[in-house]
Amino acid sequence: MKEFDKQHILHPYAPSTPLAEMELVTSASGVYLELDSGRKVIDGMSSWWSVIHGYNVPALNTAATQQLSKMSHVMFGGLTHEPAIKLAQTLLEITYESLEHIFFSDSGSVSVEVALKMAFQYWNSQGNKQKNKILAFRKGYHGDTFGAMSVCDPVTGMHSAFEDVLHKNIFAQAPACMFGQEWDEKYIEDFKTKLQENHTQIAAVILEPIVQGAGGMRIYSPELLKRVRELCTQYDVLLILDEIATGFGRTGKLFAYEHAGVAPDILCVGKALTGGYMSLAATLTTKKVMQGVEANGNVLMHGPTFMANPLACAVANASLELLLNSPWKERIQNIQTQLHEELRKCEELAIVKEVRILGAIGVVELNEEVDLNFMTPAFIREGVWVRPFLNLVYIMPPFVITKEELTHLTSAIFTVVKEYESYKANAKT
C-alpha cells in the first residue's frame, strides 16, 4: 500500500514522488496514532489542529452513527434539517452577540472565500464598485483556494507560484508587537498608513486574531487587534477574523478575538468545529452586512453541494457539547503552564532562536530551516508525531492530553532539536 501511495497519491506541499518514507496509520485512539509497524506515537499536531478531543471519541462516534441511521446528506437548497439548525443556534450563542447569520461550507478555505464574497458583495450591492481590494497582513495564511491565496503573505504564504494570476490585494507589515510586549503606536503605523491611503478601495481587512498560524506561528499583542478594529470602524471597512485555527479554545479563550474584546463583522471558523472528525466550516456575519449584501434584491452568491452536511453538523453538535461541558479552560491553562515549564529548556540550545507559548500552542523557532528527512524519523523514534515546517518545531496537542503524555512530547522535542543541532554542526564541519 505504501508503495502504491508513493507512486500515485499526492500529499500536501510534497513532490509527486516523496523523498521520505510515508508513515501508514492503521488506527487512532486518545492522543495516539498506531502505525503499521505496531508503534504508537503521541500526536502533537491534533491532525493539523482539529482533533481537540483526541481520536475515537465515544460521544462523537455515537453522534455519527445515530445520524447515519437517519440521513448522511441532503441538499441545503430549499431544505433544512435539525443538525444544522441546532449547530447554528449554538454558534450564535457562543460567538459575539452582533453575529446573527451563518453560512455553512465544507472547509476552512471555502469559509474564507465566502467571507471575501460577502465583503465584496456588501459594497457592490450598494453601488460601490471601487471597494475591490482586501487589506491583509504579511506572514498571514488563510487557505489554499484562489481567493484565500490572494490574502496570504505573497512571499511566505506558500503561493508565490500563483502571483501572476491572483487578485492583487494590499499587505501591511506583519504584527511586530508580540503577546505580552508593551504597546507602542509605532506598531500600527504601517497598517494605519495603508488604510488611510487606500480605504476607498478596501472592502475589508482580514487577519488571524492573536496567532498567525501557517505563516509563521507568530503570537502577537491583543492591543494590535484592538487598534485594527478601531481603524476599520473609523474608515468604514469591514473586519474579517479568521479563527479557523484559533477557534474553540486553542488560545485559552473560546475565540482568540476575546483576548482583545473586539467584534468582527465577519467570522470564519472550521478545523476543530467537528473535533477533527470530518470537514465542516462556517462563516458568521452581522445583520448589517447581510442587509448590505442583499441591497437591491441581491443574494449571497455561493452554495456548496455539501453545505451544512447533516452528518458533519451532527458531529459538530456533539463536539461542541463535549467541549462546552468540559473543564476546557482549566485544561488549556494546565497545558500552557506545562509548556512554559518544559519547552523553555529548549532555549539552552544554540540552534533555538525563541520559544513562544499561548494556550495549547507551543512553538520552538530555530535559527535555520528544519530538515524533515532528519526530524520526522527522529520524532517517531521518540514515540511522537510532530510535523515541523520552515524553521519551526511546534505542537498543538489535543486538549485531553495527560500531564505524562505532554511531558513525553516536550521531552521528545528537546531531544530531537538537540540531536538536530549536533547533526547540523557535524554537517558544516
User: In the numeric block, which cell numbers belong to residue 148?
Assistant: 484565500
Q: Mean pLDDT across the stretch 94-118?
A: 97
Burial class of residue 27 (count of CB atoms within 10 Å of its CB; 0-12, 13-18, 19+) = exposed
Calpha distance 155→190 (Å, rounded): 18
Cβ contacts of 136 within 8 Å, gap of 6 or more: 142, 151, 152, 153, 169, 170, 171, 172, 205, 206, 207
H or E stretch including 372? helix 372-381
User: In the numeric block, which cell numbers belong to residue 268?
Assistant: 470564519
pLDDT for 156 beyond 70: no
Calpha distance 28→80 (Å, rounded): 33
Catalytic residue among 242, 253, 265, 394: 242
12 pLDDT band, cuts 50/70/90, is confident
Among candidate residues 292, 307, 339, 352, the one with its CA nearest the CA of residue 102: 307
pLDDT for 15 beyond 90: no
The 10s digit of each residue's pLDDT in 386-404 is 999 999 999 999 999 999 9
Catalytic residue among 13, 129, 186, 428: 13
pLDDT for 158 beyond 70: no
Residue 220 is a catalytic residue: no
**What spatial distance separates the first Cα and last Cα of the chain, rounded to whole Å?**
40
Query: Beta strand pairing status for 361-366 and 352-358?
Result: antiparallel
93 pLDDT band, cuts 50/70/90, is very high
Q: Mean pLDDT across the stretch 177-181?
A: 96
pLDDT on residue 16:
87
pLDDT for 217 beyond 70: yes
Calpha distance 81→314 (Å, rounded): 10
Least confident stretch, 18-22, 285-289, 328-332, 396-400: 18-22
CATH topology (fold) of 62-324: Aspartate Aminotransferase; domain 2 (3.40.640)
H or E stretch including 227? helix 222-234
H or E stretch including 198? helix 189-198
Residue 236 is a catalytic residue: no
Report H helices in 260-327: 287-293, 310-324
Cβ contacts of 383 within 8 Å, gap of 6 or more: 39, 40, 41, 42, 408, 412
Calpha distance 49→51 (Å, rounded): 6
pLDDT on residue 76:
98
Of all residues in the chain, what percent carry a pLDDT higher than 90?
90
Calpha distance 311→233 (Å, rounded): 38
CATH topology (fold) of 2-57+327-428: Aspartate Aminotransferase, domain 1 (3.90.1150)
Catalytic residue among 32, 141, 220, 277: 141
Q: For the chain, what are the domain ranges?
A: 2-57+327-428, 62-324
Q: Is 25 helix (H, G, I), strand (E, B) or coil?
A: strand
pLDDT on residue 157:
58
Query: Beta strand pairing status for 202-207 and 238-242?
Result: parallel
Calpha distance 148→317 (Å, rounded): 27
Residue 271 is a catalytic residue: yes
Catalytic residue among 122, 271, 394, 420: 271
**What is the residue-averaged pLDDT of the chain?**
96
Of all residues in the chain, what percent carry a pLDDT higher than 70?
99
CA torsion sign, 222 to 175 to 217 to 182? negative
User: In the numeric block, which cell numbers belong to residue 39?
Assistant: 508503534
